[in-house]
Amino acid sequence: MSTGVIIAIVVVVIVLAAALTTVMLRPGGLGGRSLHRRFGPEYDRVLRRHDGDTKATEKELSERLRKHEGLTTRPLPTQAREEYTARWTAVQEHFIDSPAKALGEADALIENLARDRGFPDAKSGEHFDALSVHHARHLHGYRDAHEIAGRGDDGTSTEEMREALVRARAMFEELIQADADRAPSNRDAEPERLDDGADRTDARAAEKHHGVLGRRQN
């Protein structure tokens, strides 16, 4: 192979590599599609907040990944998991008599659960950002429930609050079950790296906290 041919091949490879890099970094390119797949409805929410500016949206979400992707979590001890499950069942039972209060209790319960798992405190301003990185699938429903809980029963129907509680339950279940099979039996567990793919289901525990709303939903 002649020197000229080799040089031509090298030039073509360089040009193709540069073009691929440009596409990956361009807002709305492969990088943007990857972020949209990862964050789902949260991507759309941030995009609306930035008035359709994809560059600003992807910059914000990329910053979240940089800041929170390495988050560590503490697996819940078995006793703590059972206590949270019992408290969620009680919240669902309270809903029949006091929907707004029950939804507020559910919101606070999820905030405490997330904090105990190692996520930032709800008052830190990074609570939802961190959850969006590791639990984007259920964040949209939980965020809606949080906002409705903040309004109380002012202009919100019982059915809207019931649906909000059902959506919030999905986040509760994911947080309570993540790493359940590795949960320690004591309160001095070492932190573990958050497994973003962990979505294990303990059928018996799920049956215990589906409660009244689960039956009504079906």
| Total number of domains constituting the chain | 2
Q: What is the pLDDT of residues 71-127, one digit of tens each?
A: 888 899 999 999 999 999 999 999 999 999 999 999 999 999 999 999 999 888 899
**Mean pLDDT lowest among 30-34, 57-61, 68-72:** 30-34
Domain final residue, candidates 13, 41, 68: 68
- Mean pLDDT, range 54-72, rounded to an integer: 92
For residues 8 and 38, state if they share a domain.
yes
**Contact between 205 and 177 (Cβ < 8 Å):** yes
For residues 78 and 120, state if they share a domain.
yes
For residues 30 and 83, state if they share a domain.
no
User: Which range, 18-27, 75-84, 154-163, has the best average confidence (pLDDT)?
Assistant: 75-84
For residues 58 and 90, state if they share a domain.
no
For residues 62 and 125, state if they share a domain.
no
**Residue 155 pLDDT more than 90?**
no
pTM equals 0.66
At 111 the pLDDT is: 96
For residue 132, the enclosing domain spans 72-217
Q: What is the pLDDT of residues 1-22, one digit of tens each?
A: 666 656 656 555 564 554 444 4
For residues 64 and 126, state if they share a domain.
no
| 179 — pLDDT class (breaks 50, 70, 90) | low
At 80 the pLDDT is: 95
Domain final residue, candidates 52, 68, 84: 68
How far is residue 82's CA from residue 206's CA, in Å, rounded to a whole number?
Answer: 11
How far is residue 16's CA from residue 29's CA, in Å, rounded to a whole number?
Answer: 16
- Mean pLDDT, range 40-65, rounded to an integer: 93
